[in-house]
Amino acid sequence: MNSEPKIKYGCASKFGRTRHGEAFTLLSPGAAIEPNADGEILWHILNYTPDTDASKTLNAFRRAMEIWQPAFPSTIRLESTSDVGDAHIKLFFVGENHPEYADVFDGEDGVLAYGFAPVDDEPLRGFILMDDGEQWADMHSSTTKDLLTVFLHELGHVFNLGHEPRVREAVMYPSYSGIRHELHQDDIEGIRSIYGGNTTAPNSGNNGCLSVLLPFLVLFGSMG
* Contact status, residue 55 vs residue 49, Cβ threshold 8 Å: no
Q: Give the C-alpha separation, 88 to 67, whole Å.
A: 18
Q: Give the C-alpha separation, 215 to 137, whole Å.
A: 22
CA distances from 126 to 87, 115, 154, 155, 169 (A): 9, 7, 10, 9, 25
In this structure, how many other beta carbons lie within 10 angstroms of the beta carbon of residue 120? 8
* Contact status, residue 171 vs residue 180, Cβ threshold 8 Å: yes
Task: Tell me, yes or no, if 40 is annotated catalytic.
Answer: no
Q: Give the C-alpha separation, 119 to 99, whole Å.
A: 25
Q: Give the C-alpha separation, 98 to 70, whole Å.
A: 36
What residues contact 207, with CB distance under 8 A and at least 6 apart?
A: 16, 17, 18, 25, 162
User: Among the options 22, 134, 154, 164, which is catalytic?
Assistant: 154
Q: In 3D, which of 66, 62, 205 has the Cα closest to residue 138?
A: 62
- Which residues are part of the catalytic machinery? 154
